[in-house]
Structure 1
């Protein structure tokens, strides 16, 4: 961030025009050369934005989107302007027209643009990019007929692929439209418009509910627990067909679901209740898995969904209760995990252009190599190979708590399409199989009997690479060991030159 004195600021903003006004006066200035200067008021000392200013976050998000190949503003400079108590980001805007203007002027293109917008959302979520609300003025149709993001301040990035369910929803996607005119423009399209568009407010309410119900469950007060649930969402129908048995002693930590669960009973059968935030990624992932697996696999290795009780803000899912028999035996854990991975291969893979190189795990692993005097060349080669492979459906959280010794796999909240070998890499780390001298042979044997639209060599490299990324940098010995195995395999198999 560069300091800009008042004289330089006046010189920079000379003959500028106000492109957007808000409560802070001139928020966005169009400069004489066509570039934009976006101004952010400097926050109080004790705030998150005082540490990472809005201007810095805007620039960081833009650069990360650029790495992912998503059209966005080109950052010129980030400024701190003490004289007016503002921070600013100077950038070149995307060349093109905003979607709002196009929707207003060209009604004949509505259906085409809506489909294209859905594809764009699908595309960016493939890369783990998420934004809470859609403002059509900030989505630009570029001169190359691509969609881009103009205002990137509130963009979020995650390791997970977020678009699993999108192609399965008949071109209907629940979006949060934060402008009345935008909601009106899209009413004739394929969208389900969520009237409670203040997503942040709803999430805060849900998080308060999580804390309240957690405390109530600890006191074993089922009556008060139900009272809080029904008060939070009056559209949810009371659960009358089930008798309360007890609260489950195992508490969850999912962001999109309550941290407490109930065991219910109907006649002589027992059930497991889980309550999700209705717009959570965890709920969508879970429902997507159950829809996919029933089409492709007849072998049941998961608890069935018995009933779904939808509401406006929460959705209650009733699962069949299958006893979870935990095991500390790594052989049993590995056997059941491999069986799960094999079953998931019945769900077709797909090309997602997953950008592993833009993820935090990758950047941390590169830092680990530099810190420990390890060449990054094998990592770069492995990353290119892994990114070129199709993505495969994965549970993405195979661990001791989710794998029962009877072969049942629980908790599909994180499931979806991930880079090839993701689950196998995860269970290798979970069971510390990387210490085995036969780890490479084990991975090769796992893939040799499969027909996965990829060769064994590339799949093995991808799995070793992902396992290397997953291991914490604090485990220097283990991470270095995996690095050496990956490096040796690349040298031997693809004639990689050090």
Structure 2
């Protein structure tokens, strides 16, 4: 294993070592023994977004900030904060899998950590072909004062640097552990309750929030493929149910990617890239699919009733539960899920026959 100045998770370090070994010959870097021995320019000339994501992951595992900053600058015509110039502490924290972001995130502590807004979180977005940054900016612009305070909050946006291909967003960094798997659904319910209570009239002028996010469209397509491979005779009924829920169920502002990794014990809720107006049950179904290892559909239904069934006065609990079960199937079959195959098959059998009787 290559030695770094900071110990990383072993599986990430091993993967980075392998990626470096397999690719450095292709990029004519055979004379170097590690990424930090390569001149920044040698690794910075990425010809595609995929290459930039590939190399940024490798250098993040080795904490190579100078090379990373040069890569971002050359590809996106935008300057990140310099790790060597701010004289405090900068480190890579975590990674992601979103298509619109670089997925190599940094925490930055400015010179005097006791001053307000001296702890930053850096995230790099691709500007072209994605609307994730537009969603984040829209919600922050209209609801920032409400969402960025309280026991449950969206980290406040502090600076946005836009270049040609890339934009770099700096938000307030909140050092905190993630909630436990046992706490995730209950804390997720707190987030849903907060969002459903927000006044959202000002967001009507933001059409980006009324479009379905690509993550949902991809999950829905994968779910349809999953159904076609198991019960093709009910695919038409499932499509009718999808149209009914998307066309007639009441819509609320939803986080869009609500699961344990995005909920911190401090109350901070991260990664608002998929936020928007979705049919009732969207966030509940997603967090149930991602975080509840249920043994039966009855357990799923019980959890939806327990945690989400009485969110607001006037909310139809039946729609919350039926919508939640539908989205639990979509995100259970169409994305990484905690639900087993038998539970998903039982869930499909549960919701499709009811497609003609659920409503409001």
Counterparts in 2 of 1:263 and 1:244: CA distance versus 1, 3 Å: farther
Counterparts in 2 of 1:242 and 1:413: CA distance versus 1, 3 Å: farther
DSSP 3-state at the match of 1:479: helix
Alignment of 1:284 with 2:145, yes or no, is: no
- Match 1:230 to one of 55, 73, 81: 73
- Match 1:303 to one of 155, 164, 167: 155
The structure with more helix, counted as a fraction of residues: 2
CA shift, 1:336, in A, is 1.3
Structure number with greater Rg is 1
DSSP 3-state at the match of 2:73: helix
Distance 2:322 2:189 in 1: 18
Distance 1:357 1:211 in 2: 25
Is the contact made by 1:383 and 1:462 (CA closer than 8 Å) also made in structure 2?
Answer: no
Distance 1:243 1:463 in 2: 48
Alignment of 1:443 with 2:295, yes or no, is: no
Distance 1:461 1:377 in 2: 18
Distance 2:358 2:278 in 1: 24
Distance 1:295 1:249 in 2: 27
Alignment of 1:396 with 2:261, yes or no, is: no
- Match 1:264 to one of 84, 99, 108: 108
- Per-residue CA deviation, residues 252-272 of structure 1 (Å, 9 max, x unaligned), is 222222232222122113222
Alignment of 1:294 with 2:144, yes or no, is: yes
Distance 1:380 1:226 in 2: 46
Counterparts in 2 of 1:211 and 1:328: CA distance versus 1, 3 Å: same
Distance 2:251 2:350 in 1: 23
Distance 1:432 1:354 in 2: 24
The structure with more strand, counted as a fraction of residues: 1
Alignment of 1:386 with 2:245, yes or no, is: yes
TM-score of the pair, normalised by structure 2: 0.66
What does residue 122 of structure 2 align with?
A: 273
What does residue 464 of structure 1 align with?
A: 325
1:140-155 map, 5 Å: none
Is the contact made by 1:286 and 1:413 (CA closer than 8 Å) also made in structure 2?
Answer: yes
Counterparts in 2 of 1:448 and 1:253: CA distance versus 1, 3 Å: closer
Distance 1:401 1:408 in 2: 11
Structure 1 unaligned residues grouped into runs of 5+? 1-202
DSSP 3-state at the match of 2:159: strand
- Per-residue CA deviation, residues 38-95 of structure 1 (Å, 9 max, x unaligned), is xxxxxxxxxxxxxxxxxxxxxxxxxxxxxxxxxxxxxxxxxxxxxxxxxxxxxxxxxx
Q: Choose between structure 1 and 2 for higher RCO, CA contacts under 8 A separated by at least 6 residues.
A: 2
What does residue 6 of structure 2 align with?
A: none
Structure 2 unaligned residues grouped into runs of 5+? 1-45
What does residue 413 of structure 1 align with?
A: 273
* RMSD (Å), alpha carbons: 3.7
The alignment covers a number of residue pairs equal to 289
CA shift, 1:237, in A, is 7.3
CA shift, 1:343, in A, is 1.6
